[in-house]
Structure 1
C-alpha cells in the first residue's frame, strides 16, 4: 500500500484510535446533528492535534461516504504502509513473538473482528497473502473498533514461503483445523508462535496446513461443527495469552 493513498474512516471509536496512534489525518467531518455530550473526548483530542473539524449535515456525510453507517463522524486519512514480517518480529522485544497468519480472509467484518481480538490479546501483528484477501478498508477499520490503527498488518506474495522463513526465525506455527486430533488448549503455546487461521468457507489451504508444525481444533459440543473464523481466532489468541500469563 502506498503511504500517499487516502481513504475515509468513519465512526467515533475508529477515529479516536486513529488519532491516539498519531496517524495522519487530512480532514475531519462531524455532523451538525451530533449530540455535543458524546463529542467531548473527540473534540478534546482534535484540539490537542490542532485539527479543526468541518461541520456538515448528516445527509451530506452519508452522500460523501456512500452509506449511513458513520455515527456522524468521518475523516479523510492517509493510510499507512503495510508492515514487513521483520517489523512484526521487532515488536516482540520483551516476550516471544506472537504472530497471526490469515489464509485468504475475505470478509471485512471478519478481518476487523480479528484485528480487535489480536490487539486485545497483545499479538505483535498479522500476516496475510496479497491475493484473495480483503484489503485494509474503511469497513475493516469500523469493524475493528479502531484496533486496526494499532496492529501492524503485513501482506505477502507467498504465504507458504513466509511461513518457512518464520520457522527459520524460530517460530512454531499452529494451524486451526476442525479435523485436527489435538484440542487447542492441550498444546503448549508459550514459545515463539504463529497462529494460522483459514478462509471463512474453505479453511486452511492444503499447502498452508502442511506448512504448519501442528494443527489443533476447537471442540464443538452441539450440532454445528465449526465457529466463525473471527470467533475461533479470539479463542486461540487469548489461549496463547492465558498460557503466557500463567507461565510468567
Structure 2
C-alpha cells in the first residue's frame, strides 16, 4: 500500500550495522544521459593527434616570432643572386651575413669580395641565426643588411626628372600592397627610362627587404618618393603640366592610341585586386587599357606596368629619331 512504511524493503531491519539508506540524488539518472559528440582527436588530452597539433602550432608561432623580430630589426636581403645584384648596384649595406660552412660558389666569393672592397662588415653566423635575421626566407647562406630606406620628397622627384633633360616620366602606385610587385615595378621603371616612382604612405607596400630583392638593387639608382596623399600629389603634378595616365582594365583608350606618351607623363598603376581607386581615376586625364586575348581577365600589376612603360619608351625613341 502506498505510504505504508512497514512494507517490505521500505526500511532496514532493526539491528543492522548500516545506517539510514540514502538515495542517489539523481546521479544514476544523470549517468544514463549522453555526454555529447566525441571530441576530435586533436582536442583529446594526451592523444597523439593533439600532441602533433600542439607541436605544429609551436613551430608556426616560432616562425611568426622570428618574422616579427626580423621586421622590427634592420632589413636583410636574402638569397645569393639578390645579394650579389644588390652589391653590384651599390645598395647602401651595413653588413654581409655568411652562414657557417656555406658552400662557397662563385656568387658567395663575389659577394664577400665586393663587400670587402666596399668596407662592409662581413659576419659569419650560424644558419639558424641567419634564419632568424631573414625571417625564415630562403637565404642560401647569404644575407645583406640594409638601413631603413630613405624616401625622396615628391617635389624633388619632379625636379630631378626635369633636370634629366628629357620629358619627365614618373610612375605612381595606387594601393599596391605586395612588396614583390613594388620591386618589380621599380625594376621595370628603371629599365624603360622612368625618372622615379611615387608611393602613397598608406595602404601600400614599402621598400622592405623583399622589395629590394625583387628590384635587383635598382632602387639604389632610381629615386622613390612617398606622398601623404596620392590624389593631392597627382593634382599638384597636373598643375605643373604633367599628364596623368591611369592604367585600368576598363580604360577609355588602349595603348595603341596613347597619344600622350611623349608628353611629360605620370603613369598610375592600381592595386592587384581593385585597380585604381575612384578619386585617383577621377584625377587621371586618360585611362589606358592593354588589349589581351579572349579569356584572360587581367595582368599582374607589375607586368601591366612593364607593358605600358615599354610602349611609352618605344614611342619616345621613335619621336627622338624624327
Question: Could you say whether these structures have the same fold, taking a TM-score greater than 0.5 normalized by the shorter chain as the test?
Answer: yes
Q: Indicate yes or no: 2:167 matched with 1:96.
A: yes
Whole-angstrom CA distance in 2 between matches of 1:49 and 1:30: 16
Structure 1 contact 17–149 (Cα < 8 Å) conserved:
no
| Structure ranking higher on relative contact order (CA contacts 8 Å, 6+ apart) | 1
Structure with a larger share of its residues in strand: 1
In structure 2, the CA distance between the partners of 1:170 and 1:71, relative to structure 1 (3 Å rule), is: farther
Whole-angstrom CA distance in 1 between matches of 2:174 and 2:77: 25
Q: Which residue of 1 aligns with 2:278?
A: 206
In structure 2, the CA distance between the partners of 1:240 and 1:51, relative to structure 1 (3 Å rule), is: same
Q: Which residue of 2 aligns with 1:246?
A: 318
Structure 1 contact 24–79 (Cα < 8 Å) conserved:
no
Q: Which residue of 2 aligns with 1:235?
A: 307
Deviation for aligned residue 1:114: 1.0
Deviation for aligned residue 1:90: 2.7
Q: CA RMSD in A?
A: 1.9
> Where does 1:125-144 land on structure 2 (aligned, <5 Å)?
125-144=196-215
Structure 1 contact 27–53 (Cα < 8 Å) conserved:
yes
Deviation for aligned residue 1:190: 1.0
Q: Which has the larger radius of gyration?
A: 2
Deviation for aligned residue 1:202: 0.7
Whole-angstrom CA distance in 1 between matches of 2:91 and 2:217: 12
Q: TM-score if structure 2 supplies the norm length? A: 0.71
Any gaps of 5 or more consecutive residues in structure 2?
Answer: 1-72
Deviation for aligned residue 1:170: 1.3
Deviation for aligned residue 1:129: 1.2
Q: Which residue of 1 aligns with 2:154?
A: 85
Per-residue CA deviation, residues 59-114 of structure 1 (Å, 9 max, x unaligned), is 33113322141232112221232111122223322211110011111111111111
Q: How many residues align?
A: 244
